[in-house]
Each structure stands twice: as structure tokens, then as C-alpha cells.
Chain A
Amino acid sequence: MTAGPSRVPTLPDSAYSRMTLVLRGGLFLALGIMVAALVWYLLVFPSATLADAIATNPILNYLGATGLAHGLADGAPAAYLTLGLLALVATPILRVASGFYYFRLGHERAMEGITFAVLVMLFFGLLVLGPLIR
């Protein structure tokens, strides 16, 4: 085992604790919404079957922001399931954003640029590439 470089930039302890908080908070929020919506879905559709689930993907009604907002306002359980899944997708993106913040705080230009580029690519995929393919 070799020793590391003599002088290396280090992240502050708060970066680790804040990132743990972001991941844990996002997970609990996403799972909380999904569990409640799943129970709700089973209560609203008690006779639903595996074949129904395969034949009709309820997410297709809530892919756009407008459709999702209407679904949430109407109290559609599938819209809330979609919201929970979106919260799960958003959690690692928030984690990258918090990494960017700490690298910027530490004036680590190279790592700051890398995390910023990752964020740009993630948003490009979500907001441009995904809708374009749809």
C-alpha cells in the first residue's frame, strides 16, 4: 500500500454529512410517497391483476408536467406513484449538485468543472433528450 500524495485537497466533514442527509432525505421522501400511493392504488383498484399492470402503464398519462399536475390535483394514485419515482430519480442529481457546491466552496476548479459538466449532462438527458425521444 502506498501513501497518498503529500498534499491533497480534502472535502470538509460537513460535505459527507450533508450528502448523507441529501441521500437519506430523498430516499425517505420517495419511498414515503410511493408506499402511500401504492396502498391507495390497491384500495382504489382492488380487482387489478398482473395482466392489467402489463397491459396498461399508468405512467403514460403523467409524463408531461401538465398531465402530472392534473393527476396530482385529481388525486390519482398513479400520479403520486410517478411523483415518488421522480423524487427517487432526482435524489442522485441533488447529490451531484451538493458535490458541486462543496468543490466550489473549496475552490477546487477542476472538480467543480467536472461536477458542473455532469449536472449539465443530467439535465440535458432529463429535459432535452428524453422529451425529444418521446
Chain B
Amino acid sequence: MDLDLLVGLLILLAITAGLVGALSGLGGGVVVIPALVILFGVPIPVAIGTGAITILATSTTTGAAYVRDRLSDLRIGMFLEIATVPGALLGATATVFLTHASLADTLLIALGLVLIATIPGSLARRNEELPSRVQPDARSRALGLSGEYQDQALGRPVSYTAARTTPALGVMFGAGLVSGMFGIGGGVFKVLALEKYLRLPMKVATATSNFMIGVTAAAGAGILFAAGFVNPLFAAPVALGTAIGAYGGSQILPSLRNRTVRLIFLPVVAILAVEMILRGFGLP
């Protein structure tokens, strides 16, 4: 295949990844990495490096829009980065050392199973438009982890406050670890932690996850860069396409209802979980 054709195909693929990433809060690596491996025969380490670039492009594009619209909560996002960044550094370092080790495969399977286990809880909340009876913990009160956004779909301002910060920090460390290690999966745990433990509205969870994943990916990308896992001939067209798709997604999200965003998110989680398990067993 000629390189110019490859560039065109990668841009088209990445537009889809950016759109899915922006709407789900997952960053788009979930689409790009398996496609690079299965469709183009790209080695997995390079696909993981490209996945990190996809996440960076999604986060930067959507971050600009969601921060402007106050959908991303800067304070909550930056507070949780204290857990995701060390996780990402550890994960990316582990990837370099354990690329071909069976431990990485086992971890993938375990993470896939954990993701599947979270689906019933999210399904139970599928009709919940906004969380109710949320009690902030002491840390949330001290740091002012609360906010308000104008909900276009509901046509009114919505206020929220963060609830259980300690389990959220634990899940965020795991999210960073997965993100650094596999280039995918970080966003899915972030959205779950933001929604399930902090009890943020789904759109705020998605937008704040998108805001955060860029920093997590940047932490991992430095190491993946240094290890030679980022190939600019794949990463550059993917970054361009992702930015286009993510911009489209960022224009759509504010007008969606929270339950619609959850309905987009859940199937992607299920696909990601199956994909992790299959990859853990060595299947494409």
C-alpha cells in the first residue's frame, strides 16, 4: 500500500475514533489501536504509541471546547490527576519492560473482566438523568469540588458536587496505569470513577475525563516516545483525523441528554472489555 493512500485511510479512521472518543470520554485509542494492528499490520507497541497520540489529540481538541462551555470541571480534573499521572508513568514503564511478558496478557484479561463487572451498575443507572442525594465528603468540601454548568438539553443550569473522593483516587490510579500500559482503557475507568464514585452528571464525567486523559497520555507518551514506540508516519495522520472527529463530537455532546451519553458509553465499554480479553488471550 502506498504511503499517501495509507495517510488518507488513517485520517478517515481517526475521524471516527475522535468522534467516539469525544462523545464517550474514552479518547479514541479503543478504535485506533485494534484497527492499526488488524487492518494495517502495525506492531502492537507502535499501535499503543499511536493510541497515546490519539488520546492527546482528542483531549486537546475537546478540552478547548468543554472548558469554554464549563462542561469540564477543571478543579476535579486537576485534583484527580495526582493519581492518574503516577499510574501512567508506572504503566508506560511496565509496557516497555513487559511488552512480550505473559503478565501483561493476564492483566488485560483481568481488566476486561473488571469492565464487564461494572456494566450492570451503569445499566441500573441508565434512566438516571442527574444524580440525586449526593453527599460531598470532607476532602470534596475542603477543595471545593463542586460546580455548575448550563445544560442545553434540559434548558437550565445544573449544579453538582463530588462525593467519594478516596475510591475515586484509587480507580484513577488504575486508569492511569491502564492508559500508560495499553494506550486504551484509561478513559473508561475515569468516566466510571467520575460517575459512580464522585456522582457527577454523565456529561460532566465525559467532558472531565476528556480533559484529564491528555495529561495522563502526555505522561505515558514521553516514555513511549523515548522507547521509539511512536512512529510519526502513523501518529501524525491519526492526530489530524482525531482532531477533526473530536471537534465534531464536542459540538454534539452539549446538546445530548445525560442518559443518551450513557447509552453511547455502555456499548463502547462492552466492546472494549471483550477486546481486552481477546487480546489477553492473544487473539487480534
Contact = CB atoms under 8 A, between A and B. Distances in A.
B214 A92 contact: yes
A52 B239 CA distance: 20
Interface of B: 1-4, 6-7, 40-43, 46, 53, 56-57, 59-61, 63-64, 67-68, 70, 74-75, 78-79, 81-82, 85-86, 88-89, 92-93, 96, 130-136, 141-144, 146-148, 158-161, 214-215, 217-223, 225-228, 230-237, 239-240, 243
Nearest to B162: A4
A92 B89 contact: no
Majority secondary structure, B binding face = helix
Contact of A133 (B4, B56, B135, B226): B226
Interface in A1-56: 1-5, 8-11, 15-17, 19-20, 23-24, 26-27, 30-31, 34-35, 37-38, 41-42, 45, 47-50, 52-54
Contacts of A2: 133-136, 161
A110 to B, nearest CB: 6
B246 to A, nearest CB: 10
Given A5-B144, A88-B239, A110-B142, A19 B74 contact: yes
Majority secondary structure, A binding face = helix
Max chain B Cβ within 10 angstroms of own Cβ: one of A31, A52, A84, A89: A89
A49 B85 contact: no
Contacts of B88: 125
Contact of B57 (A10, A86, A88): A88
Contacts of B221: 89
